[in-house]
A and B are shown apart, each in its own frame.
Chain A
Amino acid sequence: MTMSDWNRVTRPIPVPNEWTKPFWESARRGVLALQRCQACKHFQHPPYATCVRCMAIDLAFEPVSGKGAIYAYTIMYHAGDKRFAAAIPYASIIVELDDAPGALLAANLLEAPYTEAKVGRRVEVVFEPLNDDITLPQFRLARDKQ
């Protein structure tokens, strides 16, 4: 059995701040939205005060398709944090979205054995509610032919 057991994991709850609030509000509605420069149209993540490409300050959150590829990953075996011990070994992945090249999102690979995590593999966003306020964007292997 190589599926990670996430049911017994208690995840730290993200605390939105003035820059990140729209990201979490969108996620709660089941929409993945990233910060986008309104001047040069560059997507970036995590959110910053300015555009990391052109330094403009006119930034807004815009929906993205949620389809992308695994940019990199690690399989966690060490049970240093007891809250995650039940899921070990588990895949923590970095996803690069088709719509937002260069904007890298951390996630877990869900609904698949951790051995399925490979660089370049196609993934799509799914949403994991943590409580009434916070829903985590997560990823699973892409189901439709892309």
Chain B
Amino acid sequence: MWENRCKVAVSGVGFSRVTRSAEIPLAAHALAAVKGAVEDSGLALSDIDGLATYPELPATGHAMVDGITIVSVNCMMAMLKLPNLAWHVQVETVNIGGAVQQAVNALLAGVCRYAVVWRAMHNPKGTYQNLPGAQAQGAAQFTAPYGFGGPGQGMAVAYTRWLERHGQSREKMATLAVTQRRHSHKNPHAYFCGQPLTREDYLNSRMVAYPFCLYDCDIPVQGAVAIVLTTAARARDLRPRPAYIAGYGQRLAFEVAGRIGSLSSYMEGGRSSSRLTWERSGFSPKDVDVAQIYDGFSASVIYGLESYGFCKEGEALDFIQDGRMELDGELPLNTFGGSLSTGRIHGLWHIIEGALQASGRAGERQVEDVNVSFVGASAPIVQGTTFIFVREPY
């Protein structure tokens, strides 16, 4: 087991308003989320001395404008003017989970005391994913000429392989979309809170990139979320009950050109990341009371459930049936609604929900008697990170 387990905790969490398109600059969303998280902890901004983010805009073919399409560490520093800032990092790989893990490391190293991590996501005007112009450079030269554009298609290919190798049917995925939507009705911050989704809506919705229909894809939105991390000893003196980080893992892998993932890479990435998390925490999948698994595209949940070890390969779509992913089920799953219902904010919201469930702060959607709370914070292959939060340090 990891000697540093439960030495760092998530304390406060914060949310901006989530809108379909940009009504105010993205920096204002990020600022609202960060201020909210600091206030939730009962801290003042002057207490914050560490900053971390992963600022990528997943939409392709759009200009990067700091404060408008992304919110970099530099942008946040300029807004907050923190008098005691001692550490900051902006990660390029392993997604927002990597930024959280860097903050954990910085706190363990003693180079900062209260770190804030935020994820801000912009929804650009016009087409979200633009193929390259007249010319396809770099890895795209082997994909874009064939009409392979954004990650939707890139992730759909692994899904057809999974479906056909295991003799499965995509209709079973309706359970995931519908159940997560129902969970989101207990999450006032979610974009789709209060908007119902039925099995029929799912089955009749338009196809985007087979096997993905509209409701297999998270909706692009404008919004931000943030967390405060600190050492366990400090966290116990703050307002919220701490969610202790019992272990984490990460893995980055790509084996096909461009943004196309092979099924074997997803599985290998998920196994590698979660193995580190299980070993460091000392827990195994059967110990988990509640799970958040990244669902930017629905099929990522399949790869997650199987590669993390919650069920066998080929069985994930059967595993989620029969009430198993309900709030009172065997493995309550994406209890905040997942990205499919909150909107596309990437994995920090999964991390937040994992922490809230561990600390008993998930409100109406709180799962009973949670101690071990698992998070797969991004698609296992591309930039996979996994976490375990616990209520009781051990």
Contact = CB atoms under 8 A, between A and B. Distances in A.
A72 B158 contact: yes
B208 A119 contact: no
B257 A106 contact: yes
A108 B207 contact: no
Nearest to B213: A77
26 contacts: A11-B145, A11-B146, A11-B147, A12-B135, A12-B140, A14-B136, A14-B141, A14-B142, A20-B141, A71-B262, A72-B158, A72-B161, A73-B157, A74-B160, A74-B210, A75-B207, A76-B147, A80-B127, A81-B131, A81-B149, A83-B131, A89-B210, A105-B142, A106-B257, A119-B165, A130-B145
A14 B157 CA distance: 22
Contacts, number: 128
Contacts of A15: 135-137, 141
Interface in B128-150: 128-150
A127 interface: no
Chain A: number of interface residues, binned into ranges = 35 or more
B302 to A, nearest CB: 14
Contacts of B141: 14-17, 20
Most chain B beta carbons < 10 A, residue from A11, A80, A120: A80
A105 B143 CA distance: 9
A76 B153 contact: yes
Contact of B164 (A16, A78, A118): A118
Contacts of A9: 147
A107 B158 CA distance: 15
Contacts of A94: 157, 256, 260, 262
B132 A74 contact: no
Given A80-B127, A106-B258, A106-B260, A12 B144 contact: yes
Contacts of B150: 80
A26 interface: no
B159 to A, nearest CB: 8
A15 B146 CA distance: 14
A80 B129 contact: yes
B145 A73 contact: no
B82 interface: no
Nearest to A11: B145
A13 B135 contact: yes
Most chain A beta carbons < 10 A, residue from B159, B212, B257, B258: B257
Contact of A46 (B128, B136, B142, B146): B142
